Amino acid sequence: MLNNSNSELSLLRTPTLQAMMSVLENLNQAYRAYDLALPAEIRQGIARFFHAHYLWLWHHEICFGFDSSRQRYFLDFSITKQEDSSRWARTIEY
């Protein structure tokens, strides 16, 4: 059902585009798998899996969004993010 690989969740200093895409695909897989009709234990496992991948993207400051018409998360290379008031805005480079 869901493929949870420790290498995908490792805290890389600079994630590669391939790593970002892999984590994003796992996030989408968990999103699609979540169903209220499933037993609570399975839903909780899916939610934990989703949360771990969401946090990985957040930890690495990966800009991503959700397309409600396609029901998918995606990388957003158009967003710039201010790290703090003393640094320049940062964009993801690949």
Residue tagged 């839903």 (tokens): 43
Please check whether residue 32 lies inside any domain of the structure: yes
Tens of pLDDT, residue by residue over 2-41, are 555 555 555 547 889 999 999 999 999 999 999 999 999 9
Tens of pLDDT, residue by residue over 76-88, are 987 655 443 333 3
Please check whether residue 48 lies inside any domain of the structure: yes
State the total domains in the chain: 1
This prediction has a pTM of 0.69
Q: Is the pLDDT of residue 69 over 90?
A: yes
Q: Is the pLDDT of residue 53 over 90?
A: yes
| Full residue range of the structural domain in which residue 60 is found | 16-90
Residue 72's Cβ-count burial label (10 Å; 0-12, 13-18, 19+) is: middle
Sign of CA dihedral 69, 71, 72, 77: positive
